[in-house]
Structure formats: C-alpha cells, structure tokens
Amino acid sequence: MSCFLRICRNVVEDAVMNYAERVYGSAEKPADAERVITKEDIMIPEALTKKKKTTIGFAA
C-alpha cells in the first residue's frame, strides 16, 4: 500500500512542478495562466495506465 501512496505523491509533486514551469517558467506570463493545475500538468506513469492481459489456462 505504501508503494502506491508513494506513486501518488510523486504524481502530485510532478504536477505542481509542471504547473510552476508552465506559469512561471517563461519571461512573459501566458494569457491563459490560471491558478489551477490542469490535466496537461498531470502525467500518470505508464505502469498505472497500462492494462495487463492475463491469460487463464493454456496459452497458445
């Protein structure tokens, strides 16, 4: 369980860093710079989005 919580914490920390880079990373402030983390800021690790194909019984 603690491994999953660690992954969640890393996802949130990365989202905050992506937000900060998007809003404060350039010399001029983007026009759409909202003070909200968007879905573009959140990067889910591939291991969590990949679906495992589990074969039950004999595999050909």
**Would the pTM count as exceeding 0.85?**
no
Supply the pLDDT for residue 21: 86
pLDDT band at 60 (very low <50, low <70, confident <90, very high): low
Q: Is residue 36 part of a domain?
A: yes
Q: Is residue 60 part of a domain?
A: no
Q: Is residue 12 part of a domain?
A: yes
Q: Is residue 27 part of a domain?
A: yes
Contacts of 30 (CB under 8 A, 6+ apart): 22, 23
CA 57 vs CA 47, 51, 52, 53, 60: distances in Å: 25, 19, 16, 13, 10
pLDDT band at 33 (very low <50, low <70, confident <90, very high): low
Q: Is residue 56 part of a domain?
A: no
The number of folded domains in the chain is: 1
Task: Identify the domain containing residue 39 by its residue range.
Answer: 2-49
Q: What is the mean pLDDT of residues 20-47?
A: 77
